[in-house]
Structure formats: C-alpha cells, structure tokens
Amino acid sequence: MLKLFLQTHCSRAATSLTSVPAGPTCVASRGPLCVCVGLGPRSYLGIINVGAINFFCNYEESRGNYLVDVDGNRMLDIYTQISSIPIGYNHPALLKLMSNPNNLSTLVNRPALGILPPENFPDKLTESLLSMSPSGMTRVQTMACGSCSNENAFKAMFIWYRNKERGHNTPSEEDLSSCMVNQAPGCPDLSILSFMGAFHGRTMGCLATTHSKAIHKLDVPSFDWPIAPFPRLQYPLEEFSRENAQEEARCLEEVEDLIVKWRQKGKPVAGIVIEPIQAEGGDNHASPDFFKSLRNIARKHGCAFHVDEVQTGGGATGKMWAHEHWGMDDPADIVSFSKKLLTGGYYHRDELQADKPYRIFNTWMGDPSKNLILAEVLNVIRRENLLEEVTRSGKALLNGLYDLQAQYPGMLSRARGQGTFCAIDICDDATRNSILLKARDKGVLLGGCGDRSIRFRPSLVFKEYHVHIFLNIFNEVLAQHK
Amino acid sequence: MLKLFLQTHCSRAATSLTSVPAGPTCVASRGPLCVCVGLGPRSYLGIINVGAINFFCNYEESRGNYLVDVDGNRMLDIYTQISSIPIGYNHPALLKLMSNPNNLSTLVNRPALGILPPENFPDKLTESLLSMSPSGMTRVQTMACGSCSNENAFKAMFIWYRNKERGHNTPSEEDLSSCMVNQAPGCPDLSILSFMGAFHGRTMGCLATTHSKAIHKLDVPSFDWPIAPFPRLQYPLEEFSRENAQEEARCLEEVEDLIVKWRQKGKPVAGIVIEPIQAEGGDNHASPDFFKSLRNIARKHGCAFHVDEVQTGGGATGKMWAHEHWGMDDPADIVSFSKKLLTGGYYHRDELQADKPYRIFNTWMGDPSKNLILAEVLNVIRRENLLEEVTRSGKALLNGLYDLQAQYPGMLSRARGQGTFCAIDICDDATRNSILLKARDKGVLLGGCGDRSIRFRPSLVFKEYHVHIFLNIFNEVLAQHK
C-alpha cells in the first residue's frame, strides 16, 4: 500500500498535478497549489500532514548539487531543503566521518547536554561553532532548531532586561510567586520589537515576531508587541542610494517612535530582532548604514539587539555571517543560527548570559552528533575555499539575473542578492508558481518567498558552471512564458 | 586548556565540590547546589552556559544501565539523561544499526521533512511511531523536540477551535489582516488550561502552561491563561481512596469553574493540557477516574484534550503510554511525546489535522535519523519483553521504597509509582540534595523533582537485580543520614 502510494504520487506526471511549489503557500493562494490543497491532507493513507509535500526523494542517489526523486529524476537543487544543506548531498567527507566507528557512540547516546555533556563536547564546540564566532561574542548556547534558538534568545534578553531594571539579580518574593501564575511582575509585560515581513519561527514567542504570511499566524494567540516597517528598497541598490537612504531613515524613525510608545504603554522593548536579509518575507535587503543606526538606537534605548541569522548564516552571502558585510566590531548582542549550521543555537555577548543555571535549559539543548558533522563541514568550507566560490558564483548568478531581467522586463524585476543568496521578483503570484513548476519539470528545483519572488538558495558547492546550467534552463522556461 | 578544564572540574573530588544534583534547582535553593551557582557560569573558559553541568561523561565506555564519567567512575544511572535514554547506553542493536552503511545517507542528508521526505519515511514511520499509536489516533506529526511538539499541538488546538467557531475553514479578510499585526480576531484571545505543578516545556507558549518552578518562568512575558489545581493525593493511593476521590472532585470542579470564567472573560479555553503523572513538578499522580472525568469535561465544554506524554511515554510506566492505564478507547485528542521516543512529535485525532498545508510546519519537522533509531529501539523492546521487565522491576522498586519508608519514617514518605516511574519524598530540600550527592559518590545517579522528591527514571533495561543494587546503596546512604 505504501508502495502504491509512492508510485501514484511520486512519478513525474503525478507530481506535476499534485504538488505545490517549493515555497510556502498562502491561505488565499490560487493556481497550481490549489490542486494540492484541494486534495487535502486526508489522502496519502491519512498518517501524516502531507499537504505541503512536493515529492519523495532518493537521498542515497542524490549527490552534490543534485537531488534525485524516487523515480530517478535528477534535479539541480537551488532550494536545498529550505536553505539547510551546507555542502551538498552525500559529501564524501561526511560519509567518511559517519563511517568512522569512533563516532558511533555520539550517534546512539544522545546526552542531556546541559547537565552531562560528553568529554569531547568542548573540543567539538571549539572546532565547530566557536571557530566561527561573530565579532564580540565568545559564548554560544546550542539548541535543537531555529525556533528554539530564537525562543531562548528572547528569554535571555528578557532576563537581562529585568535584571537591569532591578539593578541586581535577586528576584523579589512577589516576582517569584506571581510568575508561577503567569502574572506581572514575575512575568513582566516586556516586548520584542520586530519588523513587518520578518520570519523568526513558528513557536508562540517567535511567531509574535513573525509577519511574513497570514498562514503562519492565523488563529494563534499572540502578544501586543511593536512592529516596525522594514525598508522597502529599490534595486539595484547602488542606483537608488538617495531614495533608499530616505526610506531607511523613515523606518528608523518609526522604530524609535515605537520604542517610546511601547514604553509609555507599560510594555518596554527588551530587545529588537531582525534578519540581515528578510528571507521568507521576500528577500528584502537593507544597507550596512541601516543596521549600524539600528544597533545604535537599540543601545540608546537600552534594548538588546538580536540578529537572526537562521537563514543567512553559514556562508551563502559569501561571508560566514551576513552581518559581517556591515563591517562592525560589535554587530549584535545575540546572533541566532540553525539550518546550514546543522544545529540550532545562539551566540551572545557576556552580559546576555543568564545569571543562574536552569534559566536557559531543556533536556537535549542541541545534539552533539550535529556538532560533529558541522566541524567537518567547516573543514570542507576552508579546504575548498567555498566562501570564495560562493562569492564568484554569486556574482555570475546576479549578473545572469540582471541580463534576464533586461530581456524579460514585463516578467522579471528587482534582481538582488549577496553571494548566492539571491532573489528576483516575478510579475504576479500565479506566474511565479507556474515558473517554479516548469523549472522543476526541466530539472531545476527552486523556492518562492514573499508574495511573488523566487529565492535562490543553493548549497556552498554551487559553482559557476552550475550557475550557467541554471541560467540556460531558466531562460528556456521564461521564453515559454513570454 | 580544555584538558586542564576537564581535569580540574571532572575528577570525582572536584565534582563533589562543584556540581549540582541531577535535577533542576530553584532560585531560592540552599545547600550544595549553591556552591555551583556561586561559581557562576563565567568559569569554565566562558564559552557555554555550564552552571547546571554535573560532570563530563565518557559515553563510549558507558554500557546499559551504567554511565561512566571522564575519570572512569561507573555509576548506575537511574536518571538516564532526564529520562531520555530508552534502552541504555550503547545497546549492541543500535551500534549495529548505526554501523550499517545503508543508513549513512540518513545521517548526512537531513531533509525538510514537510516538503521533501525520503522515500522510506512512510515505512520508517509505520515501523516506529505508527506501530505504537495511542488508541483512537492514526495520525502523527514529528517535531525536533518536546517543546516544539507541545507548541505545535497547542497551535493545532487553536486552529481546530477557531474553525469550529467559524463553522467553516475560510478566514475573513479581517482575520487575515489582523493576524499579521498580532491582533484579534486573526490572533484570537484563546487560552489553554493547564495545572499547577505542570511542566510542558520552556518556549513561550509551553511556558505559559508550565507551573513547576519559578526559575523556569521568571522574567518571561506570559499569557493570562487559566491554571487549575492538580490533585494532591495521599499515598499509597489504595489506602486513601475516599480522601483522594474527594480531592480529585474538588480539582475537577475548579476546572469547570475556570472554563466558564475564562469564557466569560472573552478568553475561551481551546484546549486542556495535562501530564498523566506530573513529573518535573514532583511525580504527582491522579486516578484513571480523574482523567476520564477530565476528558468528559473537555468534551462537554468543546475544549480539545491534550495529554503530554513527553516524560511518561515510551514504556517506563510498564505500558508504552501512561494513559493506557486509564483503560479508555478515546483517551485524548492529542498526545505529545519526545525524550525516550528520540524524536519529538504528537499524535492526533483526525479532526485536529490542520485544514491547510504550511499551518503546522517548520524546516526540519523532526529528524529521520531519530526515527531510524526508534524503529530499532521498538524491536528491542518487543524482542526482550521490556515492558514486562519494567513492570517486574517497578514492583520490586516500589516495594523496596515502601520498606525503606517504613525503616526511615522521619526521612522518607509518599513512596509512589507506576512501573519504574517511581518517586519518594525526602523530609526537606537540603536533605534531598545531600542524599543525591552521597548516592552519586557511592555510584548511583539519581534526579530530583518537585520541592523535595527524588524521581527514579531508569531506562527500560533496568532489571530486578539493578533494583536490588540500588536499594542496598540507597539504604547505606540513608543510614548515614539517620
């Protein structure tokens, strides 16, 4: 029966009829995705939530930049599991690592890292996460996923803020008793300022700072926290520097107004959270000056500054962290990560360390087997100079997108990117979704973001010749649509 | 430097001075844990949050019920990484599984399960989670950890409740626009009813239903959700059935009052969440009748009923799920799990399925490598009849605790348990913590819970002879304290 399931729903013909494009959909969406939504999650044996499934994959046969489906179709993967595969599929260095019997124990004995870490955990942390610490940060807290990373980063900011308000670390009796029943002052009315279009995850704290698509938030209770506009820039950035600077100034002014307003409301802003490039929300960029000013505003108003690099971190912008492009010694108080880093977590400045044990804590607090793989991924990145490769491929990709945009002005606009972390807008949502499906039928897997953008998220082993393979196919798809 | 760190802080002598007992501490705690709190998280190279670390472990050398520390000390482990090791350390069946080259691909290619699952994922689900589905549930949603499981279970209940309120699945324009800015009606004022003493996790949605210790909640904003009293029973249960029934009736009455009150407040209760045995909060039991009545109250008031089996699930009570002891065909609408199941997730009845794709979603949505291990763990449980072993060992353990309680009436009370999921109260917090440390120095690793309880959380391979080894050592420790 399972075989039948796979055969029925995973052949190329079937997937074309029943699948959604490789990007989040929206409650009100039209076009090919409705076919799948219409089929509903009750099909497929009714065992799992499968409404979003594109197709089933043969990961054994997948290699490097190529993902293979269960029918043996081989696709150039420029979406890489929502940007979470750092060095391609089945990299020989990782296969070798996982075949090493010395690593078996790490795979079968998952510790409670916060209380009983393995002997080699400090070494593995030093080889992996600590070898790439953002400037100004020497501390890291691992977590199991991106949402948990952001949730705990928020908690660290709340704890820091309240201790600052108290002037000391000792809670009152009233703090201790009121927090047990969810009430102030123990559970204070503090807020996190986020940006319209942001995506920081889907657990309830994160979700209160996520504002990219209604489908993520609908029907879930939330917090009355301030939401600032994210700059809506014109591209290419260098051609619109005056207009863009004005737009950024407008947004920064709004941020300060909101901080003041929420303080007056009795819900002070403990922290500001922002992505270096709003990814899920449509690949929205802002200038280094914008982030520098925002960092200063945070400091001026006593708010912690949290840079969410869950999607941007790990090398795709041509630097390990997107915030490195800002050129700051002290870019943030907290930097969270996940996806390409294979483990979730966050770096933080010393003062954001919770004052007592068990305040930031859970059973697993990460997974040492992922740190093991990450350490080897970093070896490969260094040995193969992958950040330079990304910069080179990224240039070729963006130039190619500029060319196509000139060639199809009615269909394409706003090509933009940093490294291979690129995107382009399509004239409308329906055309975008149709292009995504056609590209897949021609062997290229892409993802959408925002209302009508396509985002490019290849792994770090995406070379210039892969860019040209992609551009040729993309050109063919666009030509058919013209 | 790291070597020095390990040598300084991990020898038996050093750990006795600097470590905390293997259970969560509390803001106001006294006794040996203050030594570690006093050392503060700034020691240990200042790279990670280490305030809660007991000691570093040598997992390679650990076997079955025995955990080995970096100095080679071998301890009978009755805490098992906060109850998360199902069949002991380095089980040969798991080592064999992880050595199988056919599984390499699963280890190095982590998919975005919600969109591009591996070909064998339905098979692995069928072999693992679906082979142990709770009664009335054929659907499962995997997640990466316990908190994410509960967060998403809550979201599923909110979505279900709102669609029921609407009478259909189509949100209004106002729903869609208001949710983007965290406001009603799109982000409605719904609530989850939880119980005092409960622990459901530490991310912000979960944390609003957690009420076990102040240290978990202090300084984190929360929701105004109703909190009912959990029955405070007298043990042994069979000796106090009349008193306990009265206490349970009182709590159930309060539950109904709160549901009505919160509806009147404009914050209707969408779901009730409860643990079959409150674990972190002090191993508090309630009768099958209590849970049956609670299930009926939920149904009567149109609330979903969510049973959190993150700590109780996986066999330690002598059944795969603790709620099986209630003997109900339809025990819950949602059952969440993690820890011993190695992957997080939740089962749910059909109607709790989110109506559209991407409503319950994140990048990884679990980890197929954990399902692989779980499938083999279940094979071992069946092959070795481990649930029967647990029932047998659990009886020996509880009888032993009854004997010790009779022997040390001033020090021990309220011995209780189901299977090996047992606990006993110590006269006060300081004595409890001292006993935990002394037991460890004699080679037995235990954990605390509640204000002054010790909880027993061995793995499923804990045999009757391990019980006797433990009881002898425990008796020695108690005799010294008398």
Taking the model in full, what pTM does it have?
Answer: 0.92
Task: Give the pLDDT score at B47.
Answer: 66
Residue B114 in contact with residue B359, Cβ under 8 Å?
no
Q: What is the pLDDT of residue A481?
A: 87
Q: How close is the nearest chain A Cα to the Cα of B176, in Å? A: 6
Distance of alpha carbon A363 from alpha carbon A361, whole angstroms: 7
Name which of B182, B336, B436 to mutate to probe chain A: the one with the most chain A Cβ atoms within 10 A of its Cβ: B182
* Residue whose structure tokens are 């005092």: B196
B229 contacts chain A (CB < 8 A): no
User: pLDDT value at position A66?
Assistant: 98
Q: Which of B45, B89, B221 sits opposite A187 (nearest CB)?
A: B221
Find the residue in B nearest to A37 (Cα).
B356
Q: Closest Cα of chain A to B220: distance in Å?
A: 5
pLDDT of residue A52: 86
What is the average pLDDT score of chain B? 90
B273-306: per-residue pLDDT in tens?
A: 999 999 999 999 999 999 999 999 999 999 999 9
Nearest of B87, B6, B89, B5 to residue A106 by alpha carbon: B89
What pLDDT does residue B25 have? Answer: 32
Of B85, B105, B140, the CB nearest to A47: B140
**Mutation target vs B (from A115, A165, A170; most B CBs, 10 A cutoff):** A115
Catalytic residue among B69, B77, B308, B367: B308
Examine the residue annotation and report whether A230 is marked as an active-site residue of this protein.
no
Which of A51, A144, A181 is closest, CB to CB, to B145?
A: A144
Q: For residue A30, what pLDDT band results from cuts at 50, 70 and 90?
A: very low
Q: Is B38 exposed, middle or buried (0-12, 13-18, 19+ CB in 10 A)?
A: exposed
Q: Does the complex come out with an ipTM higher than 0.90?
A: yes
Q: In what order do the strands lie in the sheet with A74-77?
A: A66-68, A74-77, A444-445
Give yes or no for B358 touching A (CB within 8 A): yes
Give the number of A-B residue pairs with CB atoms closer than 8 Å: 435
Distance CA B39, CA B344 (A): 34
From first CA to last CA, the distance across chain B in angstroms is 43
Sheet containing strand B304-308, edge to edge, reads B139-143, B344-348, B334-337, B304-308, B269-274, B191-195, B227-228
Residue A139: its chain B contacts at CB < 8 A?
46-49
Locate the chain B residue with the closest alpha carbon to A71: B119
Distances (CA, A) of A317 to A65, A80, A313, A459: 17, 15, 8, 11
Q: Do the Cβ atoms of B231 and B276 come closer than 8 Å? A: no
Lowest pLDDT segment from A32-41, A342-351, B10-19, B467-476:
A32-41
Which of A202, A356, A369 is closest, CB to CB, to B215? A356
By C-alpha distance, the chain A residue nearest B148 is A203
Smallest Cα–Cα separation from B25: which of A187, A356, A112, A175?
A356
Number of other residues whose CB lies within 10 A of the CB of residue A249: 14
| pLDDT, tens digit, 9 for 90 and up, residues B145-184 | 999 999 999 999 999 999 999 999 999 999 999 999 999 9
**Distance of residue B350 Cα from the nearest chain A Cα, in angstroms:** 8
Whole-number pLDDT of residue B51: 75
Q: What percent of chain A has pLDDT over 70?
A: 90
B99 vs A: CB within 8 A: yes
